[in-house]
Amino acid sequence: MTDRQVPTAAQAAADPERTITLRLRPQDTRSKRTLPSFLPIEVRWPRWLTWRPRDTLQRRIVWLTALAVAISVAVTGIGAYATTQISLYAQLDSELLSIANITAASVSQDIESLGGLTADALKAANVVLVLVKSNKDEVAIPGENVPFDIGSDEIAIARTQQGSSARTAVASTGEQYRIVAVPLTSQTEGQSTGDGYALVLGRSLEPTLTTLRQMALVLLAVAILGVIASALSGWLVAGSSLQPIRRLALAVAKITETDELIQIEAEGDNELADLSRSFNSMMRSLASSRERQSRLIGDAGHELRTPLTSLRTNIELLIADEKSGMLPEGARSDILRDVAAQLGEFTQLVGDLVQLSREDHVEAARVPIDLQDVVANAVTRAKRRGPTMIFDVELAEHELVGNPDTLERAFTNLLDNAVKFSPSGGLITVVMEDETVVVSDQGPGIADEDLPHVFDRFYRSDLSRNTPGTGLGLSIVAHTINAHGGWVKAGSAPEGGAEFTVWLPTTDEDRDGE
């Protein structure tokens, strides 16, 4: 048996008329044996046979709407059809029983001539009449053809002479009849002869069935039109309802493509409009975060350039002196001290940048603390950095939930700022009262035009440009206090120096907020 040549994937793709590709079972090339016969052959169908429409949310809504309407219409239609059929049959039975009772009263007086009834009279009434004896004998009007068979129900009526019956029978021609039976007793001169009969009256169901078929066609047409209308309306409603989601998807795709933080239009007062507004809020927050990050990187690059340039200059001088001995005696030591100071400034700047660039929430590291302990530790550190300063400290209990390390860093920055700008022997006051901490000094104070900017990153006033620092200390203070749910503001002390007021919520307020 020889293998047929199997077209390659490229050939199969290039030939759109190819309907099916059969590939014989492969062989195991290592053992040179044919794989088991139960393994199926590979069948490759053309793409147009395997294509499936995209399963979109709009399509699902349309299908669900159409299905719900179809089920509702089907249940309603079946109920209406069944109710109408029962009503028509009950009406027909009532009419036939009424005719049968009237006819039985007339026929009972003259059984032999059947009360003078003729085939034409019965035809005019659109009924078929036959008498059934208790011994199953049948008496019909001459010339009348009875198309249906007499059953046990009619014989039981003839024997018991009680009740009545109604049923559907199928004639020999296949036509359906509705037949009823009522008891009939032969009478002579008003006296009963004792012979029991059953008067059986039948009428063709064709008019009734025609009415039901027409009704079924009308219900089917209404159901089809209802499903089509519901599917169309579902498509339109779903399309308009999902328009905000499409705009959101397009906006996300455009942001991915262009890296442009665009916003989308939000209209209405529903869940989709809320989603659009939430997306716009996220975009604004992301744009603000990106702007802050860009400004931080730019400011950090500018601030890092100065100490790096100074370090490079001093190191180059030391290298040149190593080769030529160009520096006078003692200058090398001065340069090394400058390098050490610059390294300290550089280290502080990097630490401040790392601290300020962290955007994580402080809740993860919060513990119950007493703020007076935090402030006391900060004052101790400030005293070491300003041994000539006089500190007037009034502490008070202030329990809260927070991060003691970041809070101590923030208050240390405030006190270092006071030490840096106070004259030797100046007074630095720290007062805790209620929920506030006030730090004031006797330095030159803060100019009115500088007050709105003192907490900005890398901002330095004209008075502070020649003093050591990175311009990030007060930014770290504001960031830390705000992260703990408080606020900080700068102003002028009564004695003329700077005054910083910090407010932090207590533990009870934290719990109420939660």
Which positions ≥6 away from 193 have C-beta within 8 Å?
A: 185, 186, 187
Q: pLDDT at position 489, please?
A: 92
Distance between CA atoms of residues 464 and 466, nearest Å: 6
- Of 393, 385, 388, the closest CA to residue 417 belongs to 385
CA angle (209 as vertex; 207, 212 as ends), nearest 5: 115
Q: pLDDT at position 349, please?
A: 67
Q: Which residue has the tokens 């975009």?
A: 283
Q: What is the mean pLDDT of each run of 10 residues along the chain (514 residues)?
A: 46 46 48 51 59 72 87 92 93 92 83 77 85 85 78 89 90 87 75 74 91 93 90 85 79 80 73 79 82 70 69 84 79 82 73 61 67 92 86 91 87 88 88 91 83 74 54 79 90 85 76 44
Helices (H), 25-130: 47-50, 57-107, 119-124
- Computed over its alpha carbons, how large is the radius of gyration of the chain? 52
Segments making up each domain of the chain, as ranges:
9-50, 73-212, 288-352, 362-513
Q: pLDDT at position 437, please?
A: 93
Q: pLDDT at position 486, please?
A: 92
104 neighbors 199 (Cβ within 8 angstroms): yes
Amino acid at 386: G
Answer left, alpha or beta for residue 53, where phi above 0 means left and psi between -120 and 50 means alpha: beta
Distance between CA atoms of residues 463 and 469, nearest Å: 12
Q: pLDDT at position 54, please?
A: 66
Does the 73-212 domain belong in CATH 1.10.150.110?
no
Distance between CA atoms of residues 237 and 241, nearest Å: 6
Domain 362-513 sits in CATH at 3.30.565.10
Q: pLDDT at position 376, please?
A: 93
Q: pLDDT at position 430, please?
A: 93
